[in-house]
Amino acid sequence: MTTTDSCEYLVIGAGIVGLAIARQLAITDPVARIIVVDKESAAGLHASGRNSGVLHAGFYYAPDSLKAQLTRNGNRMLREFLESKDVSIRECGKVVVASHENQLDALDELARRATANGVDVQTIDSQELAYLEPRAQTVDRALWSPTTAVADPVAVISAIAGDVEQRNVQLRFNEAVLSIESNEVTTTRTTYTATHIINCAGLYADRIATMAGLEHSYVMLPFKGLYWKANVPAGYLQRHVYPVPDPKNPFLGVHATVTVNGEIKIGPTAIPALSRENYQTLSGLHRDEIAEVLINLPKFLTSPHHDAKELIASEVPKYIKRKLVEQAALLVPDLTPKMFTHKLQPGIRAQLFDKANKRLEMDFVVKSEGQTTHVLNAVSPAWTSSLAFAEHVVAHIATR
Ligand SMILES: Cc1cc2nc3c(=O)[nH]c(=O)nc-3n(C[C@H](O)[C@H](O)[C@H](O)COP(=O)(O)OP(=O)(O)OC[C@H]3O[C@@H](n4cnc5c(N)ncnc54)[C@H](O)[C@@H]3O)c2cc1C
């Protein structure tokens, strides 16, 4: 039997974006009744708890993008928040290395974007690289980002969930949203009447938007990210080591990251998944989602905007550990398959695809319709940017 309830703000999704928005609403409107619902039994069980945990600095993104505007500040805000909650951050910084001369133009473009975005990044030579990270290799030059860091995503989500509850926001788990009719949201347990509804449903944000009557031509394409952990002593690498990304695709490429405890992991891949929560080979498969992927993936493959065929051809083999390690060894030549003994839990990227334009959305997308606001493309680095992104979304809601 479903009960009824009402509130000023109903947030759908207790990932980092939903929680950060609920927090910001509580800061700006402390007397408002705010409820967050999630279909799972706890916060952050999807992307927000299954990512690389890298606090990005904000230099990858086109200067006119929301990502560029929100990541530098988001990095600072998340850092300050975690310090205030005694959550560990490892200030390891990051080097971006080129594995071929033909990547140097793209490397230099990242340095220009860093300047345009007000982010501290230095171009360094091979000797400086050897000093910063002796195990990394590059062709001619590399980038050094001192403000890139790392934290444990599970500790971060727990700190934000705790903070939100202290601000009297109610977190309600095991409640999946089933339908939205005007300002009424029906979950598996309750029918809520809300003054404003905020959709932060990650992998299902497009479907929630459709339920709410938002007209759009989007579909979420799921891309699976696999990681392997190295069986090497802590401190084997000092810095995150990243490749130069392909500017036509939204993923950063396989990288070697240092965890907050000094361990090393490589990944993630960006392999198309057959369903949105298809974490293991046969888990989370749904017929309608498989059909959706099979219909839309060919549209992506024939897109003039991306190197999709190249992306798929290079990503799919990375299911095999040896191939994944080969990619990582282009950055850190000492890495060998034997070192990687543990597969870590995978994450799935909710990547928004515009069917009409055959284009993957590269920037955050926020749309409103009536009294509903939809966060439709909270792709990386939305984890880093979450607190600044929340300020942006709440300011947008205030104009409605
Ligand atoms: C492999 C990988 C690596 C990444 N690495 C980084 C990184 O290093 N740094 C970085 O900044 N970002 C990184 N990201 C991106 C980052 O994880 C995401 O941008 C961020 O977690 C998105 O948060 P979210 O709250 O929008 O989504 P989610 O965490 O997915 O939360 C959405 C929530 O909505 C809930 N939900 C869905 N449907 C319903 C429904 N019908 N009813 C109720 N609840 C529902 C889900 O249960 C879920 O809890 C990475 C992502 C992946 C996948």
Backbone angles phi, psi at 64, to 5 degrees: -90, 10
Q: What is the overall mean pLDDT for the chain?
A: 95
Mean pLDDT confidence for 8-25:
98
Asked if the structure places residue 17 within a domain, the reply is yes
Is 59 among the domain residues?
Answer: yes
In a domain, 358, yes or no: no
Largest CA distance in the chain: 68
Ligand 1 atom showing the smallest separation from residue 150 Cα: 8
Q: Which residues line ligand 1 (CB under 6 A)?
A: 12-18, 37-40, 44-48, 51-54, 56, 176-177, 200-204, 225, 268, 347-349, 378-384
**pLDDT confidence band for 250 (50 / 70 / 90):** confident
Cβ-count burial of 371 within 10 angstroms (0-12 exposed, 13-18 middle, 19+ buried)?
A: middle
Q: What is the mean pLDDT of residues 7-35?
A: 98
The pLDDT-based confidence of 312 (bands split at 50, 70, 90) is confident
Pocket test for ligand 1, best of 39, 241, 255 (most atoms within 8 A of CB): 39
Q: Which two tokens stand for residue 186?
A: 């029906």
Domain count, the chain: 1
Among the residue ranges 94-98, 283-287, 297-301, 380-384, the one predicted with the least confidence is 297-301
Q: In this structure, what CATH number is given to the domain that contains residue 181? A: 3.50.50.60
> Residue with the nearest Cα to atom 21 of ligand 1?
48
- Binned at pLDDT 50, 70 and 90, residue 315 comes out as confident
Q: Which atom of ligand 1 is nearest to the CA of 346?
A: 1
Q: Are 70 and 383 in contact (CB under 8 A)?
A: no
| pLDDT above 80: residue 242 | yes
Atom of ligand 1 nearest to the CA of 225: 1
- pLDDT exceeds cutoff 90 at 251: no
User: Is position 55 within any domain?
Assistant: yes
pLDDT of residue 97: 98
Q: How large is the average pLDDT for residues 241-253?
A: 87
Contact 209, 352 (CB under 8 A): no
* Structure confidence at residue 318 as a pLDDT band (50, 70, 90): confident
Compare 268 and 336 and report the one with higher pLDDT.
336
Look at residue 73 and tell me if it is in a domain.
Answer: yes
Q: How far apart are CA 292 and CA 279, in angstroms?
A: 17
Q: Is residue 372 part of a domain?
A: yes
Identify whether 304 is part of a domain.
no
Residues 48-101: tens digit of each pLDDT: 999 999 999 999 999 999 999 999 999 999 999 999 999 999 999 999 999 999
User: Is 80 exceeded by the pLDDT of residue 1?
Assistant: no
* 247, pLDDT greater than 80: no
**Structural domain for 390, as ranges:** 1-89+147-217+364-400
Q: How confident is the model over 171-222, as pLDDT tens digits? A: 999 999 999 999 999 999 999 999 999 999 999 999 999 999 999 999 999 9
**Predicted local confidence at residue 307, as pLDDT:** 83
Give residue-wise pLDDT tens across range 323-355: 999 999 999 999 999 999 999 999 999 999 999
CA of 396 to the centre of ligand 1 (A): 21
Of the chain, the percentage scoring pLDDT greater than 90 comes to 89
Give the other-Cβ count within 10 Å of 34's Cβ.
Answer: 25
Give me ligand 1 centre to Cα 102, in Å: 34
Task: Report CA(47)–ligand 1 centroid distance (Å).
Answer: 3
For residues 145-168, average pLDDT:
98
Backbone angles phi, psi at 225, to 5 degrees: -115, 115
If one residue of 11, 17, 82, 386 were mutated to test the ligand 1 pocket, choosing by the most ligand atoms within 8 A of its CB, it would be: 17
Task: Tell me the best of 10, 59, 72, 380 to mutate to test the pocket of ligand 1, counting ligand atoms within 8 Å of each CB and taking the most.
Answer: 380
**What are 104-123's pLDDT values in tens digits?**
999 999 999 999 999 999 99
First to last CA, the chain: 34
The residue ranges of DSSP E strands in 231-302, in sequence order, are 240-243, 255-258, 264-267, 271-272
Is 322 inside any structural domain? no
